[in-house]
Structure formats: C-alpha cells, structure tokens
Amino acid sequence: MSAASALIPATSVERCILSIRGKRVMLDADLALLYGVSTRVLNQAVKRNRERFPEDFMFRLTAAEKAEVITKCDHLRPLRFSPSLPHAFTEHGAIMLASLLNTQIAVEASVHVVRAFVRLREILSTHKDLARKLEELETKYDAQFKVIFDAIRQLMTPPVKLRRSIGFRVEEARPRYCRPRPRIRRHGEG
C-alpha cells in the first residue's frame, strides 16, 4: 500500500466533488491536500501553465459562489479568511494538474480522483436509467398502478431539508396582564 492511498480514503475524495455551474468540480484547496502540496504551490503551477487549463478544465469561483460553498461544506470553512477566490477544477483539470505537479503522491492521488469522478458519473447514470425505465413501465400499465409509480418517484427524489428557526418560542396562551386596558375618557372627549 502506498503512502497516498493510505492517506486518502475513497469517501473523502467523493465528498470533495462539488456541483458548481452545472459541472462536477474539486476546489484547489482540496486538490492541494490530496496531492500533498500547499494551495499556493498548486496555484503557482497553474499560473505558470495557464494555457493547459481552458475554461472547461478550470474556472475561478465568484465571491457569491465562494460564500455558498463555504456555508454548505464544513471542511472548507478555512477559506472564509482567504482573500483570493478559489479555482475549481473539473475531472480533466484535476488530471492535468497531477501531471504538472509530478510528485509520486500527486500521481497516485490522481487515480483516486478519477475513480471518484467515474463512480459519481455511474451513480448519476443509474439514477437516470431508473427514471427512464419507470416512465416506460408507467406508459405500459393503466391508472391502477399510478399510485405505485408516484410512490416510487417520491422515494427517488431527495427529501427537502427544512431549516429550523433559531431561538426560544413559547407555545402557551397570552397571560392576563398583557390584555389591553380599557381606555379612560377625559373631560371634553366625545
């Protein structure tokens, strides 16, 4: 077992893959950690070889995207204090980056990164195939199975997470002393 494969569990690579602008990407901070270099060294390599990273391989996040990523991913909280906007690398960009860094850890880690992207693609295609097959079955059978198909579709959609409100709420009747007092009329009022 190599040093890189001992350091990188498969689940940690998969949780680093984010969906931004409709693309599956990994941020420079996560790739630097996986490849065993600092984020500064990684970004310097990218800057020196900018022609190897077209828009479909790498792009820079906007300030709004950075803020959203930081709030959704706990492991990226240290990015809050970084003044620069992070780079996002697609699968091809991550492979290109590993070839630039050319360290043993980067080469071995790139294999894990590619496997994680492939696994994610397989999961998504399986989900799409299941939805397509369900539609085919639904067109074959009549309305008596509509309830079953609706239930299966409901199970296929991820549950919506409701945000709990923060604070203390009292769930009891209003106290007597809070009732409005009758208005006292003064002399001369109508």
pLDDT digits (tens, 9 = 90+) for 118-162: 777 777 667 677 777 767 766 666 665 666 667 777 777 766 777
Under a CB-based contact definition with an 8 Å cutoff, are residues 42 and 28 in contact?
yes
Span 65-79, pLDDT tens digits: 988 888 888 788 888
Ramachandran assignment for 38, one of left (phi > 0), alpha (psi -120 to 50 degrees), beta (any other): beta
In terms of average pLDDT, the best of 57-61, 127-131, 178-182 is 57-61
Q: Which of residues 2 and 42 earns the better pLDDT score?
A: 42
Classify burial at 53, counting beta carbons within 10 Å of its beta carbon; exposed 0-12, middle 13-18, buried 19 or more.
buried
Span 71-122, pLDDT tens digits: 888 788 888 888 889 999 888 888 888 778 767 677 677 677 777 777 777 7
pTM exceeds 0.75 for this model: no
Structure tokens at 92: 């091809």
Cα–Cα separations (whole angstroms), residue 34 to 128, 134, 184 = 30, 39, 76
Structure tokens at 166: 């923060």
Residues 6+ apart with CB under 8 A from 78: 29
